[in-house]
Amino acid sequence: MSHFDFSFYKKSADYVKDVIKDEPETALILGSGLGSFADEIENPVSISYSDIPNFLVSTAPSHEGRLIFGKIGNKKVICMSGRFHHYEGYSFKQLSIPIRLFKLLGVKRVILTNAAGGVNESYSPGDIMIIKDHIKLSSFSPLAGENIPEFGDRFFDVSDMYSSALRKTASEISKSCSLNFHEGVYMYFGGPQFETPAEIRMARLLGADAVGMSTVPEALTAAHCKMPVLGFSVITNMAAGVIPNSKITHEEVGEEAGKISEKFSEYIKKVIMSL
């Protein structure tokens, strides 16, 4: 990978601009098993990640690896079907690439979705958590290293990173949806192993409601770029130790996400239309 300067990111953006010939307003990054939303995009222009200069390639199972531009109603969206994770071997610096591409395309806000393990014992698989804040204990940041002032300030505020205004909208719209919604705190673990029962007890003590292996690097990069974030966790399983003697599998995660993906896609469409 070449040096991560402004021109590095601009090269990706120039290529995508040339293909889509338009300016998306909302960007989405879809988590495990939630790729079906991409099928809802009207007049789609689809770009394989491998065609975009300086972009990354998704290696996680059930992550498709395409950038899709189009419309939801009259709203212009760009959607990543398949995301990147630190556990795939990417540096946190590399994980800044998609969001910075969005910024250079003119995107105004970012919607992040993930599959997560439920820590809060009042949650159940199939529930949706609107993310109000996050916890990460490791000191990494996708913004470490030389600051690029074209994207944002060296030191930046994250007190309303998961935008309270967007959460309010999401909450209102959830009232007309048959899925069960909560608002809570997401805790980041690097993976790829699922968390231990002891780590889950710690997460609960610290105030986490759900745990997962994504979203936080993207949210931090968006905050640096001053782009409001709306985050959703689909609770696909209860985290380790919550249900005695039960094991967690990647298949279970995908299966549970698949069960609600149609209803969740409909809900996300309504949210985008209202923005």
Q: Is 87 a catalytic residue?
A: yes
Q: Which of 13, 27, 63, 116 is catalytic?
A: 63
Q: Is 85 a catalytic residue?
A: yes
Q: Is 50 a catalytic residue?
A: no
Q: Is 255 a catalytic residue?
A: no
3-state secondary structure the chain: CCCCCHHHHHHHHHHHHHHHCCCCCEEEEECCCCHHHHHHCEEEEEEEHHHCCCCCCCCCCCCCCEEEEEEECCEEEEEEECCCCHHHCCCCCHHHHHHHHHHHHCCCEEEEEEEEEECCCCCCCCCEEEEEEEEECCCCCCCCCCCCCCCCCCCCCCCCCECHHHHHHHHHHHCCCCCCEEEEEEEECCCCCCCCHHHHHHHHHHCCCEEECCCHHHHHHHHHCCCCEEEEEEEEEECCCCCCCCCCCHHHHHHHHHHHHHHHHHHHHHHHHHC
Q: Is 187 a catalytic residue?
A: no
Q: Is 48 a catalytic residue?
A: no
Q: Which of 213, 238, 240, 257 is catalytic?
A: 213
Q: Which of 88, 183, 255, 266 is catalytic?
A: 88
Q: Is 213 a catalytic residue?
A: yes
Q: Is 64 a catalytic residue?
A: no
Q: Which of 40, 90, 180, 250 is catalytic?
A: 250
Q: Which of 60, 80, 115, 238 is catalytic?
A: 115
Q: Which of 54, 58, 214, 265 is catalytic?
A: 214
Q: Which of 62, 237, 261, 265 is catalytic?
A: 237
**What residues act catalytically?**
32, 63, 85, 87-88, 115, 213-214, 237, 250
